[in-house]
Structure 1
Amino acid sequence: MAKFATAFALALIAQVAQAEKCYVLALSSGEESAAYQAGVIKGLAETLDMENRSYDAISGVQGGAVNAVLLSAYEKGDEVAAADRLKTFWDNATNSTLFQ
């Protein structure tokens, strides 16, 4: 496992070294903040230009990890669709459907 992690880190560093900028999105924990993050990410995706809204790496903890997984399912450059999906997920999430 350590060899895989090292190889992955080296590959990521090599890829980032070739780029002029590297954007990383780190999402915090908390269920309420995770839903709030969806709205913020949607707003950023709709207002920032393509260069400034494309992320090279995404990480998250607890509720932020849910958002990170949903966002990482989309290709770089498809942030508007990813943000729409994220917002739809949290709009449809209710206690009654989450805890059945």
Structure 2
Amino acid sequence: MIITTTHTLQNREIERYIGIVSGEAIMGANVVRDFLASVTDVIGGRSSAYENKLAEGREIAIREMEEKAQKLGANAVIGVDLDFETLREGMMMCIATGTAVYVKQ
């Protein structure tokens, strides 16, 4: 399945627009990761613990969005947007939203 942030597909014809699809991932961070991240914040540098959690949330949200698009008969999702939010301390959410389409083969 083609998944892209663009609204068109080069050298491909979109035969029909199926609808909006989305996938969500809500991730909790644990106390040890929070502590290690706070140490990194104090001494500087990147927090690989949180970067890994963000990547995991993104992958889950995109996979869920793709599965929903497939169930609707789509073979591509265009105009994909990723949004990351902090729900409350220790909880983050990633949402992937796009337009499910059928591309002429």
TM-score, normalised by the number of residues in structure 1: 0.26
Asked which structure has the greater CA Rg, the reply is 2
RCO (CA 8 Å, sep 6+): is it higher in 1 or 2?
A: 2
Larger helix fraction of residues: 1
TM-score, normalised by the number of residues in structure 2: 0.25
Larger strand fraction of residues: 2
